[in-house]
Copies of this chain bind each other. A is one copy, B any other.
Amino acid sequence: MHVCLSYPRLILILIPFFVLSTAGTIRAQSSARYTLVIHGGAGTITRANMKPEMEKAYLRSLEAALDQGEKMLASGRTALDVVEAVVRLLEDDSLFNAGKGAVYTHAGEHELDAAIMNGKNLMAGAVAGVKTIRNPITAARSVMEHSEHVMLSGRGAEEFAKQRGLEGVDNSYFHTESRRRALERALEAERKEAKEKQVPSAKNTAMKNDWKYGTVGAVALDQYGDLAAATSTGGMTNKKFGRIGDAPLIGSGTYADSLVAVSCTGWGEFFIRMVMAKSLADRMRFGKQTLTIAGHELINIELPRMGGDGGLIAVDRNGEPIMPFCTEGMYRGFVRKLSGAALSQRQVAIYKD
């Protein structure tokens, strides 16, 4: 038998298949689950200190990052792609201390650190002390995927990024007026302290106050059940001596495996000494603690007991998000879609209450 169809007729016949397959996609999407959690740093962030227009700007930026990440997760992108993209967005956002808007070092420059980890295969990449790479998180991913190393630093890392064709910028690209003023205040405080107490110059007064905070990070669980984590930071205002904080250190500021993905923010030195992110994972894996209990014990009990502060975001393989912190505030948010749910849950917040 021979069937002849005109073009419009063929289309009419095919429409039901399209509808069915689209419906199938919708069903697949609505049964898919995913979670994205983000942070933009923890510190002395109180309602009293915050101008209403700044508060709005921060909330808008957090919402935009969640929007972008959720769109990607819903369309089936991997957790790894999503955490990189979301951290890039926050790096490009001058409100946060990462990429554009990074704080100033003692020498009046910007030195950036970033790390990314894929929980699916425990691959990881990091860069430390880079000054001319527009998006350090993308450089970290490039180290993971295109070198046989995990961590590259300084000029060597910049040379690698250049060879890989990543976007370079002049160090002045990262400048913002508010960060410049923060450095000036830090230097002034330091001069004053040095004069009063004859403090050795190796000690850094900036550690004593809130200039040490500000990092961005994202963790995600994708539709395939895989986890990833990414963290990026400009470090602390007035930092000296090529200081490396916890953000680019796998296991300290950033970690992901098959159980949990973690990104930290806070007083980096304590997060390094506690090997914070891996501690959270191991409490779950070996201590059989829940994510919530492990996060609470580490951030609200152990960290303050040691004299540090800060917070973290994490998501486990069930898509459960946590955002514990022991500072006055933390820029944070999450979006979570449960399997079979029509709508996703979402929250953005800044203060403790």
Pick from B152, B157, B242, B278: contact of A282, CB under 8 Å: B278
Please determine whether B124 and A153 come into contact, CB atoms closer than 8 angstroms.
no
A178-234: which have CB < 8 Å to B?
Answer: 200-204, 207
A contact face: mostly helix, strand, loop, or mixed: mixed
Determine the residue in chain B with the shortest Cβ distance to A124: B273
Q: How far is the CA of A269 from the CA of B156 in the complex (A)?
A: 17
Pick from B124, B152, B240: contact of A156, CB under 8 Å: B240
* Size band of the interface chain A makes with B: 35 or more
A316-343 Cβ-contact flags toward B at 8 Å (1 or 0): 0000000000000000000000000000
Please determine whether A273 and B202 come into contact, CB atoms closer than 8 angstroms.
no
Distance in Å: Cβ of A271 to nearest Cβ of chain B: 9
Please determine whether A202 and B164 come into contact, CB atoms closer than 8 angstroms.
yes
Please determine whether A242 and B202 come into contact, CB atoms closer than 8 angstroms.
no
Please determine whether B202 and A163 come into contact, CB atoms closer than 8 angstroms.
yes
Task: Count copies of this chain in the complex.
Answer: 2
Q: Indicate if A283 sits at the interface (CB-CB under 8 A).
A: yes
Determine the residue in chain B with the shortest Cβ distance to A289: B286
Could you say which residues of chain B place their CB within 8 Å of the CB of A160? Answer: 202, 240-241
Q: Indicate if A249 sits at the interface (CB-CB under 8 A).
A: yes
Could you say which residues of chain B place their CB within 8 Å of the CB of A157? Answer: 241-242
Q: How far is the CA of A245 from the CA of B147 in the complex (A)?
A: 13
Q: How far is the CA of A287 from the CA of B272 in the complex (A)?
A: 22
Known: A146-B203, A152-B242, A153-B153; 13 extra A-B contacts, CB below 8 A, are A128-B128, A129-B153, A146-B202, A148-B203, A149-B241, A150-B273, A152-B244, A164-B202, A255-B275, A283-B286, A285-B286, A286-B287, A286-B289
Question: Can you list 6 pairs linking A and B with CB atoms under 8 Å apart?
Answer: A146-B200, A146-B202, A153-B242, A164-B202, A275-B275, A278-B282
